[in-house]
Amino acid sequence: MSGEEYIGRADDSLDATYEAPMSLAEYVDTVLETPGIAAHASKYMLAAIEAAGTRTVIEEGEEKERYRFFDDPYNDGEHAILGNTEVLNAFVDDLRSIAAGRGKDEKIVWLEGPTATGKSELKRCLINGLREYSKTPEGRRYTVEWNVAGAGGSDSALTYGDAPVEDEDDWYESPVQVHPLTVFPADVRTDLLAEINERLDDHIDIHVDGELDPFSREAYDYLEEQYRRQGTEDLFSAVTDPAHLRVKNFVVDVGHGIGVLHSEDEGTPKERLVGSWMHGMLRELDSRGRKNPQAFSYDGVLSQGNGLLTVVEDAAQHADLLQKLLNVPDESRVKLDKGIGMDVDTQLVIISNPDLEAQLNQHADREGQDPLKALKRRLDKHEFTYLTNLSLEAQLLRRELTNETTVWDPDSWEELETWIQEPVTVSVRDDVASATDKELAPHTIEAAALYAVASRLDASNVPNGLDLVDKALLFDRGYLMEGDERIDIDDYDLETTDHDGDHGIPVTYVRDVVADLLHETQDRHHPDLPVEHVIMPRDVLNAVAEGMGDAPVFSAAEATEYEERVVPVKNHIFGEQERDVLDAMMRDKRVDEATVEEYIEHVYAWASDDQIENERGEYVDPDPLKMKVFEIEHLGRFDEENYDDNDPDEAVEAFRTDKIITALNRHAWQRRDEEFRVGDVSPKEIPVIKTVLGSHDWDDVKRTFEDFDPRQWDEPPSGTETARLKQMTIENMVDMHGYSEAAAELTSRHVMNQVSYRWD
């Protein structure tokens, strides 16, 4: 596009964001047509969150509905909060109760958790989401601005009706985004809100309980007094005439509807909460002997957040302030000065690490005499924890190491598993002038993420026969495969405990370890291979485990505990690498889908003792020889001893009935449509078929490649079967699983080194 076209797009964007100022009457007509735009703070936040929709996720092995708002969709996911869906849903439930006035009006929402759990991301996500929602037609946010130019001169200078607006510089916006409906007298506003609420589509009524802010009240009172002196009959119409008052929309942002108190902010409690007086400022309105509300800096966190959201970040640094906030939620009022108060409509949210709780409990032993008891009663705590899902931790680690921001939203576990295991390329700058692409080999991100998750899981409730890796996989996908059987998490009676995710290896520590490895230049693998730019899973696992003793973030006991948990992770990752190598070696021996379908048709015919009609309209008679050949050569489940000529023994019959027929029927039932008809079911989608056909073992390799010797893998003699098989395997690993040649070489060497010990 040309420069003018980009300018045109920018014009369109701003034109869609802002509206021309309107009169108070026009605003009321707009609200009656679109009631939601007049929502109070908590209701508006709820609407913004719900407007983004939901999606289904699996966390801790359970399906949950997650609000997409927390995926930071308006910002391409840059500040998405990964995991903690139950905590976020509870936060939204609180908003719903507060908005509806169901007993939680006086509550201050408290979000607590250790570092690197997503609390700061929540703050950014709220700011981004509310800002972008306020740019949409259904999310418009409005306030008022005043013009009293000429009112201080002769009475004849003060007019209304068709009086022109001579200078835009004479308009002053409410410094605290006061709600336009606060201009109306209380009795009129009550009737107006009743009509507005009748037109709402939901059950949560809009309430606007506050009065005009001091700045606006000063203008209103002054105009009212001037017109009253003139004997004007319709005082309200005169004061709110478009020449003096107009309603304008604004884009929500920090300072405009959102107040954020950072840990480094200083000042007296009054200054941090509402702002400060600015001595010597020109006073443009008569303040009748009081401090002029115009001579006030409305930069306190409550002033900036009036109308929407107030966030106290790192609340432990502002513990002295929390007690000053006690009555703000239920009274919705603060004092600027002894004679000047200000109504506020804001949702209070405080964010802290666990150290705030220690401060709040410092007098707990005094029981009924605890001076902080009233504050603690008002705090509604929601605890963020470390991620306990492998896929979420893998996604988070990739975000920490790359510029990726897209939130993963897969259609199936298989797709998600591919993303978890795939390699990652990171550009590392060696000096000012050059950069090098370095590869995290397949399964490297998976290994680091799995180790971090395993360190966070409660080992006390791991079912018999399973380990922490199995628990991590159950939490992530909701099931395990035990042989041919899919066992769901409910069958293991496994539930989340209070200790899952409350401590463990932080993602920031793992990130730093991987970053250090990426900046190393020496070859850690083999002197004859130019592979110094490849980081392998075992490199990361060893570095993470070995560095804990010197890392100040871990106590000695934690370091010892976490180091012991690396073994099952190494075993699992080796199994994944071994599977990749076997798949690549046996690629040409895979069974095509037509052969699988033919076998299943014959098994169905065998089970019914008669011919059957397949989907192609052909009649199939059970062929004992075809079934026998498939079961011996392709499945590898049986040998000649299991058959009397071509007649199967009890083991084969049980396999056909239990593993094929029953599994197929169950899968078909799960895929039925609303009329209970079975749709197209691919045999390879059935777990049992996928398991027995999608995996091979070393006995298959021995049977297929009789002259293969894994001990020759590193440097196989030319012309041997081992050399030919290695070349084919490396090529297939690159093609099938996304390995680079160097990573495929290193991975296959590692696997063959272990296999050679047990080959004979």
Structural contact between residues 304 and 298, judged by C-beta atoms closer than 8 angstroms: yes
Encoded tokens for 575:
């199994």
**Angstrom distance (rounded) from CA 393 to CA 445:** 9
What local confidence, expressed as pLDDT, does residue 133 receive?
Answer: 95
What local confidence, expressed as pLDDT, does residue 544 receive?
Answer: 95
User: Which carries the bigger pLDDT value, residue 374 or residue 646?
Assistant: 646
**Angstrom distance (rounded) from CA 469 to CA 451:** 9
- What would the pLDDT profile of 412-457 be if each residue is shown by its tens digit? 888 888 999 999 988 877 655 566 788 999 999 999 999 999 999 9
Res 197 pLDDT > 50 = yes
- Specify the 3-state DSSP secondary structure of 56: strand
What local confidence, expressed as pLDDT, does residue 159 receive?
Answer: 46
Residue 725, Cβ density class (10 Å: 0-12 exposed, 13-18 middle, ≥19 buried): buried
**Angstrom distance (rounded) from CA 311 to CA 304:** 10
- Specify the 3-state DSSP secondary structure of 224: helix
What does DSSP assign to residue 631? Answer: I
Report, as an integer, the average pLDDT of 731-754.
Answer: 94
pLDDT interval class at 41 (50, 70, 90)? very high
**Angstrom distance (rounded) from CA 429 to CA 521:** 12
For residue 372, give the nearest of 423, 325, 312 by alpha carbon: 325
- What would the pLDDT profile of 156-180 be if each residue is shown by its tens digit? 344 444 445 556 778 999 999 999 9
DSSP 199-249: T-SSS----------HHHHHHHHHHHHHHHHTT-S-HHHHHTSTTTEEEEE
For residue 208, give the nearest of 238, 167, 178, 229 by alpha carbon: 178
For residue 207, give the nearest of 241, 185, 179 by alpha carbon: 179
DSSP 526-553: -TTS--TTEE-HHHHHHHHHHHGGG-TT
What does DSSP assign to residue 408? Answer: P
What local confidence, expressed as pLDDT, does residue 286 receive?
Answer: 53
Half-sphere CA count of 426, side-chain side, radius 13 A: 25
Residues 6+ apart with CB under 8 A from 283: 292, 294, 295
- What would the pLDDT profile of 220-272 be if each residue is shown by its tens digit? 999 999 898 888 888 899 999 999 999 999 999 999 999 999 888 888 888 89
* Backbone CA torsion sign across 673, 679, 685, 689: positive
What local confidence, expressed as pLDDT, does residue 284 receive?
Answer: 47
H or E segment at 665? Answer: helix 662-670
pLDDT interval class at 132 (50, 70, 90)? very high
Sketch out the chain's domains with CATH numbers.
36-151+166-382 (3.40.50.300), 390-587 (no CATH), 591-693 (no CATH)
What local confidence, expressed as pLDDT, does residue 293 receive?
Answer: 81
Report, as an integer, the average pLDDT of 318-340.
Answer: 82
Residue 704, Cβ density class (10 Å: 0-12 exposed, 13-18 middle, ≥19 buried): middle
Encoded tokens for 178:
């006061």
What local confidence, expressed as pLDDT, does residue 144 receive?
Answer: 95
For residue 41, give the nearest of 309, 351, 358, 432 by alpha carbon: 309
Structural contact between residues 425 and 533, judged by C-beta atoms closer than 8 angstroms: no
pLDDT interval class at 667 (50, 70, 90)? low
